[in-house]
Chains A and B, each alone.
Chain A
Amino acid sequence: MSECTQEVRDFDALLVRLFDEPPAFADSEAFVASVIQRLDRRWQVRSLVIGVTGLLGGFVAVSQIMANNLVGKVEVLSVGAKPHLLSQLIQSVETHLVLPSLPFGGEGLWMSAGLAGLALVFALTRAIEEY
């Protein structure tokens, strides 16, 4: 009886050992490359989706802000504040930058600059993660 149990255990041990030995595949490196390629492709698609979504979101946000004249409203609210920082900044930009061909005012310029800054930060973060 104990011999039989021992034999079962021995066979179990043999099976575990054999299952632990992975078969050798001639195309192991190709398999690794294939998985990494799929990972890269997935990441590229994801980056593209994030970028496009961010761009669309930024566009919508800017258009909404401009349509509601938010900057103008903030200016009105802060009329009592000293100094009128925002208006001074906008005035300064308008004074020093001559952009008569642009279809929007100073607030649009600032929003664009802000979005560009965010995009730059995102790109830098990705670059740091990658390298």
Chain B
Amino acid sequence: MTTISARSPHQRLEGRHDTDLAVLAAAGGREAFGELIRRHGSAVRGLLRRMGAAPDLADDVAQDAFLLAFEQIADFRGEGAFAGWLKRIAIRLYIRRWKRDRRLDLMAQTPEPEAADANPGDGAAAGRMDLDAALCHLSPAERACVSLCYGGGLSHAEAAEALNVPLGTVKSHIKRGLERLKDRMAPQGGLSVPTSSGQMPTLGRQTHV
């Protein structure tokens, strides 16, 4: 008697590398692309929300990003991480939407009153380590720049190009944003970073400001 293996597409594909799945998807394999959505959906949605998008808008843009990625998947050559390629598509779409809605005017952005009143001494250490909560205390411009560079993997120059603002503007937004994040997130008495390998993660072509 023959036993038919009734494994779901997710079970069949979960061991495959992103690049393999992208190749399958480029050949029209929607199950493979479904697995890629399953793997990276939360990361893309999370990045967009961290950039400041409202949940509905973030999900909408994330969906559009996946649809566009499926259209353009033949362009993905596996030279970098699929997640990075996908995030860049999502970032591009979000910034386009942002500009279309005339909400992106980084030159005119000023810190929100909430951020100005921020009291870094409040809350427990665990609370201060919450990135998403801390990001809420940044101005939209700072939040976007920090998320683009640290979450989207863009260099400062790439972020400036994406946002169509001078490089210096991006650098200053990031500098102020990092200072605020640090105030919010660093435990009293200094920052302790648990490292597993002792190796510092790299930030692409990013430079410290």
Residues of A with Cβ closer than 8 Å to B?
A: 7-19, 22-25, 28-29, 31-32, 34-36, 38-40, 42, 129
Instruction: Check B46–A22 contact: CB distance below 8 A.
Output: yes
Structural contact, A31 and B59, CB atoms closer than 8 A: yes
Please, how many angstroms separate the alpha-carbon atoms of A39 and B195 in the complex? 41
* Main secondary structure on A side of the interface with B: helix
CA distance A129 to B29 in the complex (A): 8
Q: Please indicate the chain A residues that have their CB under 8 angstroms from the CB of B62 in the complex.
A: 31
A8 near B208 with CB under 8 A, answer yes
Complex interface: chain B residues within 8 A of A35 (CB)? 37, 41, 63, 66-67
Do B132 and A36 touch (CB < 8 A)?
A: no
At the interface, yes or no: B80 with Cβ under 8 Å from chain A?
no
What is the CB-to-nearest-CB distance from B66 to chain A, in angstroms, rounded to a whole number?
5
In the complex the two chains form, what is the Cα distance from A12 to B49 in whole Å? Answer: 20
B202, closest chain A residue (CB): A16
Residues on A with C-beta less than 8 A from B59 are 31
Neighbouring B residues of A10 by C-beta, 8 Å: 191-193
Interface-located stretch among B106-114, B116-124, B162-170, B178-186 = B178-186
Chain A residues contacting B45 (CB-CB under 8 Å) are: 22-23, 25, 31
Q: How large is the interface on B (under 10, 10 to 19, 20 to 34, 35 or more residues)?
A: 35 or more
* B201 contacts A13, C-beta separation under 8 Å: yes
Interface check B43, CB cutoff 8 A: yes
Cα–Cα distance between A38 and B67 once the two chains are bound (Å): 8
Given contacts A16-B150, A23-B45, list 18 more A-B pairs with CB under 8 A: A8-B208, A9-B200, A11-B178, A11-B181, A11-B193, A12-B150, A12-B201, A15-B181, A16-B203, A19-B151, A22-B43, A22-B45, A22-B46, A23-B46, A25-B45, A32-B38, A35-B37, A40-B30
Residues of B within 8 A of A7 (CB): 190-191
Report the separation of the CA atoms of residues A42 and B146 in the bound assembly, to the nearest whole angstrom: 35
Q: Is B33's CB within 8 Å of the partner chain A?
A: yes
Cα distance A28–B30 in the bound complex, in angstroms: 17
Q: A25, B42: Cβ atoms under 8 Å? A: yes
Given contacts A11-B193, A13-B201, A35-B41, contact A23 B132 (CB under 8 A): yes
Who on chain A is nearest to B29 by CB?
Answer: A129
Is B78 an interface position by the 8 A CB rule? Answer: no
Q: List 22 A-B contacts (CB under 8 A).
A: A9-B200, A10-B191, A10-B193, A11-B181, A11-B182, A11-B193, A12-B150, A12-B200, A13-B200, A15-B146, A19-B131, A19-B147, A22-B46, A25-B46, A28-B38, A28-B41, A28-B42, A32-B38, A32-B41, A35-B37, A35-B66, A39-B70
Q: Which 4 A-B pairs have the closest CB atoms?
A: A19-B151, A22-B43, A22-B42, A18-B131
Q: Is B127 an interface residue (CB 8 A)?
A: no
Hey, which chain B residues are within 8 Å of A36, CB to CB? 30, 34, 37
Chain A residues closer than 8 Å to B66, beta-carbon distance: 35
| Contact in complex: A16, B201 (CB < 8 Å) | yes
What's the least CB distance linking A23 to chain B, in Å?
Answer: 5
